[in-house]
Amino acid sequence: MAEDNNQEEEKKSPIKLILMIVGGIVLLGAGLGIGMFIGGDDSSDPSTEISQIIEKKENPEASEEEPKEGEEVAEECAEEEKDADGNCPVGPKKIPKITPEQEIFATTYYEFPGNFTTNLKDSKKFLQLSLGVSTQYDEQVMANVDSHQLSLRSEILTIMSTFSADDIAGREGKQKLADALKEGINEVLVKVEGFGGVENVHFTSFVLQ
């Protein structure tokens, strides 16, 4: 009888083991199903949580820089654009425009030696003046003026004699004479050198008698 009982126990043992395994699987599945039902999304899935942890480890800066849902990102602006409270204005930002530095040219002067004296048109009066010229071109212009001084003096005296006393009266009259002299000087230089370059005529003395 004892041997029969042992044989029956040995037959029952595998069945009990199988039942325990099956029961454990059923309980595990039921637990996971309840957990997903309560959680309501994929965030409670263990595989999803593991993936998120791995991404944070690989890109730690990404998780810090990305704003949270509903969180506004503060926009930066230049100090001069901020209002009285130090806040950035709402709307388009100012875009700085880069401009080249202004070029400044050196001015070269040349003064004719001596005076220029001539009778005025339709008048017994005569005009005596001293003058110089200036340019922002290179020194070659003044070298040409000095080289052709004789022909330039003749042109200057000729132009002076075409003006009357009324023509040179006042500031505007003197400016008209200066403009006419500048044009005449450049015409001579163009004929002899192919280039004028005189930009202004200056009176250093101006006597009407």
Taking only the tens place, the pLDDT of each residue in 12-70 is: 566 666 777 766 676 666 666 665 555 555 444 556 666 666 666 556 555 555 555 54
Position 16 in a domain: yes
Phi, psi (rounded to 5 degrees) for 169: -75, 140
pTM over 0.75: no
Question: What is the reported pLDDT for 25?
Answer: 73
For the stretch 69-125, pLDDT in tens is 544 445 566 666 666 677 775 556 555 555 556 666 789 999 999 999 999 998 889
Position 11 in a domain: yes
Q: Give the Cα separation of 72 and 86 in Å (integer).
A: 18
* Alpha carbon of residue 162 to chain centroid: 53
CA angle, 95 as apex, 94 and 96 as ends, to 5°?
Answer: 115
Beta-strand relationship, 108-111 and 126-135: antiparallel
Residues 118 and 36 placed together within one structural domain of the fold: no
Residues 139 and 180 placed together within one structural domain of the fold: yes
Residues 151 and 67 placed together within one structural domain of the fold: no
Q: What is the DSSP string of 48-115?
A: HHHHHHHHHHH-HHHHHHSPPTTPPPPPP--GGG--TTSPPPSSPPP-----PPPP-PPPEEEE-SS-
User: 143: domain CATH number?
Assistant: 3.30.479.30
Number of domains the chain contains: 2
Position 102 in a domain: no
Residues 42 and 132 placed together within one structural domain of the fold: no
Which residues 6+ apart lie within 8 Å of 74 measured at CB? Answer: none
Place of tokens 């395994």: 21
Residues 113 and 201 placed together within one structural domain of the fold: yes
Residues 57 and 136 placed together within one structural domain of the fold: no
Residues 125 and 182 placed together within one structural domain of the fold: yes
Domain range for 13: 2-81
Position 91 in a domain: no
Residues 65 and 151 placed together within one structural domain of the fold: no
Residues 118 and 54 placed together within one structural domain of the fold: no
Q: Of 81, 98, 119, which residue constitutes the final position of a domain?
A: 81
